[in-house]
Structures are given as structure tokens and as C-alpha cells.
Amino acid sequence: MNKLTQLLSILCLGTLFSCQNEVQETAQNPIIKSLNDIKGKGILFGHQDDLAYGMQWSYVDGESDVKRVTGDYPAIFGWELGGIEEDRTVNLDSVPFDTMKRLAAWGHSQGGINTFSWHPFSPIDGISSWNGDSVVVKHLISGGSHHEAFKKQLDKVADFFHALKDENGQAIPFIFRPWHEMDGAWFWWGKKACTPEELKQLFRFTIEYMRNVRGVTQMAVAYSPDRNFNTQDEYLTWYPGDDVIDILGMDDYWDFKHEGGEQDVINKLHVVIKTAQAKGMPAALTETGCSNVTDSLWYTQKLGVVLNDAIIKKELSYAMVWRNDPKVHFYFPYPGHPAANDAKAFADDKHILLLEDYKKIK
Ligand code: BMA
């Protein structure tokens, strides 16, 4: 090959690769499309571990505390992967990963959307995620002493996602929401134990490794700091980049706890929404709730008030409450609980979409 042909073939290959990249980038995850399409038609309601266990039952196919109280399943099913990186068979909350896989596939087959959080044990010394003073992150990113060990953890998560298939053997699309609440001080990836730069590197590496090295392409990624921001700049302090993030979220339990705090939740969601609009992404209240639903009107008078705000009503795609564990805490009432009627009234609001409502609109 002479020099000119060599140069030409390099140029051709270059064009081929950049075309492939464009194709990959423009092939939109169906979840992102659904979450964008749903805006203004209603807000999808989600519940963590909904299909796995509840207040008087565990691992009964078809059961759900949301269904027991409202007559329908949530449209968003949340799951937790903590423990998978250590090859455990059950997660932090004792949910067997095989069962989780089966239930998530069932939720998908019914038309729902699955979202996965991940609170890993540190690959350095196995301490739990809830160690806000432990310096871990800088050892996991490129050049860090435990970078290779971290990759092995990511491989376990990628293996799980690859095994998440529908009845035809097709990969199930899902939301992945790692490294959340980084603006709080309770996780080893939180603000006390790493810098925004380190967190961004960790986040970027996680997603790039999963997508580019492990081929997990059916994944939409959510960014969800806790509620410690007031401005767009503050909200984006830890943001790893448009190329790795697809959904902009916020977790907020705290603001609901003080008198009039709904307005703070509304103001912060406005910041999330404005940022999401500028980026053409869906916005979500990725985690919220009132522990043990001690306020029997929390659903209509707190969460309902926030979700009925004019801008939020038009622009928010989903809101998810946390899990119902009788031994630890629960966030959705069960039949007979003082908040049950109110939660049903909340769910009956036309703008709040459970699974059947979502399917009719889709
Ligand atoms: C927390 C609590 C814990 C649980 C963890 C991961 O908010 O519910 O009990 O282990 O989430 O699901």
C-alpha cells in the first residue's frame, strides 16, 4: 500500500467509526422517549421494592402494597443492587437477586419501568455505603489503588443488567441511578469524603465502563442529588456531563418535614425542571416519602400539593417513594392504616399515573 492509499483507508475507517458513534448516540432509549412523552399528560408514580415485599407479606407473586390500597400497581418499580458487587445472592435488604430479576422482568412485561439504585460495599475494605467520612472515591477512579477492584464490582453489576431479559430474550431497558445524594454527608461518595471532581470522575467511569466496555446500552442514567441546592449552578455541582446522564432528578425527604416545606420542594424541582428543559431531558423526583406515613394526609396535602404545582404538573415525568419494610420503615400505607384513604385519594387524581393509567396514555 502506498502512502496515499494508506492515508485514504485510515480516513475511510475514521468516517465509518464516527458514523457508528452517531448511530449509537441517536438511537434513543425507549424509557427516555416515554418519560419525555408523558410530560404534561400525568406524573408516573413509583415505589421501591413494590413487588418484592410489603407490610403483611413477602414474595407473593402479584402482591403490592400500592395495589392493595389503590387497586393498581405503580408505573415505576424501584430496586436496589447493593451487595451484588460482593457476589451475594441477596441484596442489602435481603431481596434475592434472582427474584429481583424475575420481578423486574414481570414489571416490564406489564408495561412498567424499572429503576435501579446501588449502594455498594467499598471495594477497599468492605465498609457499607453509609460511611460519610471514609475516603474511598479517590482510590477507585483511574490511577487509584483500587481501580481494578472497582472494575470487578462494575462487572458484577453489568452481568446482572445483561441477564435482565424479556420473554423473547431481548434486553430490558431500565434506569440506573448510582452515586445519588452526593451533596449529603452520609455516603462515602458524599460531600465530606470526596471532591466534586472526584465524584464526577467516578460517575463518568461507571457509565462509560458499563456502556463502552461491557456493552450495557439499554440503560438510561439518572443524576439525583439530595435537596442541598437552591440554584442551577449548585444543582450541577456534581454533574458528570450530558454524555453520561439522561434524566435529571432530586431526592427530597427532608424539606417535607418542616411546616410549609412543600414550597421548598417546589422551588427545587423548578430548578431541576429548568435545567432539564435546557438539556432536553426528563425531570423526576427520584426519591421521596414520609417515614412510616406518620402524617395521615401526607399524600394529598404534601406530595399531592407539590405534584399539582402548575409547572411541575406540566414538566415532571415521575415521582417515587421508598420501600415498605415492616422492620425498618415504610413509605406507602397498607389497608387499614390511617393514611390509606388519603393515599388512595392521591392515586385517584387523574394526573397521578399508576400502571393502568400509564398504559392507557402510552
Ligand atoms: C435506605 C434504607 C435502608 C436500605 C437502603 C437500601 O434508605 O431503606 O434500610 O438498606 O435504603 O435500600
pLDDT tens across 307-325, in order? Answer: 999 999 999 999 999 999 9
Mean pLDDT of the chain: 94
Q: Is the pLDDT of residue 162 over 90?
A: yes
Which atom of ligand 1 has the smallest separation from the CA of 328?
A: 9
pTM over 0.85: yes
Residues 327 and 332: their CA atoms lie apart, in Å, by: 14
The rounded Å distance from CA 179 to ligand 1 centre is 14
Residues 104 and 206: their CA atoms lie apart, in Å, by: 22
The 3-state DSSP composition of the chain as helix, strand, coil percent (nearest 5) reads 45, 15, 40
Q: Output the pLDDT for position 40.
A: 97
Residues 214 and 154: their CA atoms lie apart, in Å, by: 9
- Quick one: which of 204, 195, 246, 193 has its CA closest to 224? 246
Which atom of ligand 1 has the smallest separation from the CA of 80?
A: 12
- The verdict on the CB of residue 328 being under 6 Å from ligand 1 is yes
Q: Output the pLDDT for position 17.
A: 42
What are the φ/ψ torsions at residue 329 (nearest 5 degrees)? -170, 155
Kindly report, residue by residue over 196-243, the tens digit of the pLDDT: 999 999 999 999 999 999 999 999 999 999 999 999 999 999 999 999
Q: Output the pLDDT for position 24.
A: 43
Q: Per mean pLDDT, which range of 14-28, 177-191, 287-301 is the poorest? A: 14-28
What are the φ/ψ torsions at residue 219 (nearest 5 degrees)? -110, 130
Residues 237 and 199: their CA atoms lie apart, in Å, by: 10
Which atom of ligand 1 has the smallest separation from the CA of 323?
A: 8
SS3 246: coil
Q: Per mean pLDDT, which range of 4-8, 156-160, 331-335 is the poorest? A: 4-8
**Is-contact 188 233, C-beta < 8 A?**
no
**DSSP state, residue 53:** B
Pocket test for ligand 1, best of 48, 92, 129 (most atoms within 8 A of CB): 92
Q: What share of the chain has pLDDT > 90, as a percent? A: 92
The rounded Å distance from CA 17 to ligand 1 centre is 43
Task: Name residue, grid cell 431481548.
Answer: 170
Q: Beta strand pairing status for 283-288 and 247-252?
A: parallel
- The verdict on the CB of residue 119 being under 6 Å from ligand 1 is yes
Cα dihedral value 220, 225, 230, 232, nearest 10 = -40
Residues 205 and 285: their CA atoms lie apart, in Å, by: 25
The rounded Å distance from CA 93 to ligand 1 centre is 7
Kindly report, residue by residue over 30-76, the tens digit of the pLDDT: 999 999 999 999 999 999 999 999 999 999 999 999 999 999 999 99
Q: Determine whether 220 is exposed, middle or buried from the number of CB atoms within 10 Å of its CB (0-12, 13-18, 19+).
A: buried
- The verdict on the CB of residue 268 being under 6 Å from ligand 1 is no
Atom 8 (ligand 1) nearest CA:
323
Q: Determine whether 285 is exposed, middle or buried from the number of CB atoms within 10 Å of its CB (0-12, 13-18, 19+).
A: buried
Kindly report, residue by residue over 125-139, the tens digit of the pLDDT: 999 999 999 999 999
Region 107-129: mean pLDDT is 98
The rounded Å distance from CA 102 to ligand 1 centre is 21
Pocket test for ligand 1, best of 53, 93, 324 (most atoms within 8 A of CB): 93
- The verdict on the CB of residue 323 being under 6 Å from ligand 1 is yes
**DSSP state, residue 144:** S
Q: Determine whether 283 is exposed, middle or buried from the number of CB atoms within 10 Å of its CB (0-12, 13-18, 19+).
A: buried
> What are the grid coordinates assigned to 1, written together?
500500500
- Quick one: which of 59, 66, 64, 63 has its CA closest to 333? 66
Region 285-294: mean pLDDT is 98
The rounded Å distance from CA 80 to ligand 1 centre is 8
Atom 4 (ligand 1) nearest CA:
93
Q: Is the pLDDT of residue 2 over 60?
A: no
- Quick one: which of 290, 209, 279, 207 has its CA closest to 249? 279
- The verdict on the CB of residue 93 being under 6 Å from ligand 1 is yes
> What are the grid coordinates assigned to 192, written together?
465530606
Q: Is the pLDDT of residue 285 over 60?
A: yes
The rounded Å distance from CA 239 to ligand 1 centre is 24
Evaluate the CA torsion angle 93, 97, 101, 106 in order and state its sign: negative
**Is-contact 35 318, C-beta < 8 A?**
yes
- Rounded CA Rg of the chain: 21
- The verdict on the CB of residue 108 being under 6 Å from ligand 1 is no
> What are the grid coordinates assigned to 111, written together?
408495561
Q: Is the pLDDT of residue 14 over 90?
A: no
Q: Output the pLDDT for position 8.
A: 46
Residues 325 and 78: their CA atoms lie apart, in Å, by: 14
Residues 300 and 172: their CA atoms lie apart, in Å, by: 33
Which atom of ligand 1 has the smallest separation from the CA of 329?
A: 8
Residues 76 and 64: their CA atoms lie apart, in Å, by: 12
